[in-house]
Amino acid sequence: MRRKLIAGNWKMNGLRASSKALVQGLLDGISGGGPSYELLACELLVCPPACLLETVGGLIAGSPIGLGGQDCHSAEAGAHTGDISAAMLKDAGCAYVILGHSERRSDHGEADALVRAKATAALAAGLAPIVCVGETAAERDEGRTLAVVEDQLAGSLPPPGPGQDLVIAYEPVWAIGSGRTPSTAEVGEVHGAIRRWLDARLGAEAAAAIRILYGGSMKPGNAAELLAVPAVDGGLIGGASLKAEDFLAIARACA
Ligand code: PGA
């Protein structure tokens, strides 16, 4: 059984004061009122902007909440103004890094080959990459969803290796921040296809360790049904991860 992962992608949101309040809300929610056994059903992760990693990391130290970055460079170090390396994220306390998010792909023109290079660098630094894939509305309308997603997987995932700690996030571009989500049948279809693709590529045993998250307008109101879809191993949550109450409600929906 894969333990579900509930990851908060804060994107470019938060200053020190508001982030402290958000994290305090999460910590209070986890510990307040006795042990929240239902939270143990999932692993919790927050991915703040890079400049808040230290602040947030300090607050969550010793708690069940993990830390992740939102992007990294593919090189180990060097002349790359404005970028941060996987080793820097690791040094700041991160265990994960989100890579190939559709906003990176569209805002920064990141293509599959770059995402693969970043994911390879992340693994080398001891981080688990969360590699994002997903179709646009037009691609879905053209009936190309599975082909697009499988293409992105083939191009973006690092070359297979033993014991890789890897997460995939299926995020339909049209569902991100839109309030629209695919039906549970549509989510199940894509997650099932990703799972079969991984089995074929890596063998069932190695593939079994890889979690496939759903992302795109996951909220307290729809989390339980999305997380109950077979082959959905957690969620990558944007907007709703900025409110402690909502993020924790989604985490509880794993139980
Ligand atoms: P959303 O974002 O939950 O705000 O739709 C998800 C994501 O982009 O990871």
Question: What's the confidence (pLDDT) of residue 39?
Answer: 58
- Alpha carbon nearest to ligand 1 atom 6, residue: 238
Rounded to an integer, what distance in angstroms lies between the CA atom of residue 227 and that of residue 235?
A: 7
pLDDT band of 126, cuts 50, 70, 90: very high
pLDDT above 90: percentage of residues in the chain: 93
List, for residues 144-172, the tens digit of each pLDDT value. 999 999 999 999 999 999 889 999 999 99
Rounded to an integer, what distance in angstroms lies between the CA atom of residue 212 and that of residue 168?
A: 5
Verify whether ligand 1 is closer than 6 Å to residue 134 (CB atom): no
Verify whether ligand 1 is closer than 6 Å to residue 68 (CB atom): no
H-type alpha helices, 37-136: 53-60, 86-91, 102-107, 112-124
Rounded to an integer, what distance in angstroms lies between the CA atom of residue 65 and that of residue 22?
A: 13
CB 173 within 8 A of CB 135: yes
Question: What's the confidence (pLDDT) of residue 38?
Answer: 52
Question: What's the confidence (pLDDT) of residue 40?
Answer: 64
Verify whether ligand 1 is closer than 6 Å to residue 171 (CB atom): yes
User: Considering the chain, what is the average pLDDT of its residues?
Assistant: 95
Atom of ligand 1 nearest to the CA of 237: 3
For residue 36, pLDDT over 70 is answered with no
For residue 32, pLDDT over 80 is answered with no
Verify whether ligand 1 is closer than 6 Å to residue 215 (CB atom): yes
Token reading at 204? 């069932």
pLDDT band of 41, cuts 50, 70, 90: confident
Q: Which of 46, 174, 236, 243 to mutate to test the pocket of ligand 1 (most atoms within 8 A of CB)?
A: 236
Phi and psi angles of residue 213, each rounded to the nearest 5 degrees, phi first: -90, 150
